[in-house]
Amino acid sequence: MLAQRYYREFGIPMVLYVLVMLFWRYLLGHVGSNWARVLIALLPAVLVVLVIRAVARYVRDSDEMQRRIELEAIAIAAGLVSGAYMTAGFLQAAELIDVPASAAMLWVFPLLCAIYGITKSIHARRFE
């Protein structure tokens, strides 16, 4: 029951997020009014909030073992992503790399999700 609710609450906004991101830049470039650009620019953020809500509800309603796996995986992922982001910031400040800030910011959430998923699958095997 919990897994079904999670897949529904997580899956729908995540699929919509992927679809929106496929057309997001195109839409931003072809809309003239500022209010429409604001709505289009923030649509992915609204979907991310729904994904975060689904994950938070899943963790909250999970048993202690699953909660431990989830929280350790997200802690490791957050540490790795923030460490990588900070390292890239130092390299950027030293003018050794040149990454546009908007591109770097847009990749934080997908990278966090990917590393979380990998970390969770590795970490969960320890408790099988």
pLDDT in tens, 17-40: 999 999 999 999 898 889 999 999
What tokens appear for 55 in the block? 């994950």
Mean pLDDT in residue range 35-54: 94
Distance, CA of 119 to CA of 121 (rounded, Å): 6
How many residues can be counted in the chain? 128
What does the block give as tokens for 77?
């992922």
* Residue range 43-50: mean pLDDT, rounded: 95
User: Which pair of tokens denotes residue 5?
Assistant: 């609710």
Res 7 pLDDT > 80: yes
CA dihedral (103, 108, 114, 116) in degrees, to 10, reads 170
Pseudo-torsion of CA 46, 50, 51, 57, nearest 10°? Answer: 150
More confident residue, 21 or 128: 21
What SS3 class is residue 96? Answer: coil
pLDDT digits (tens, 9 = 90+) for 73-111: 999 999 999 999 999 999 999 999 999 988 889 899 999
Residues 70, 123 contacting (CB under 8 angstroms): no
pLDDT at 67 over 90: yes
Report the percent of the chain where pLDDT is more than 90: 78
Q: Report how far residue 105's alpha carbon sits from residue 98's, in angstroms, rounded to the nearest whole number.
A: 14
The predicted pLDDT at position 124 comes to: 87
φ/ψ region of 63 (left if φ > 0, alpha if ψ in -120 to 50, else beta) reads: beta
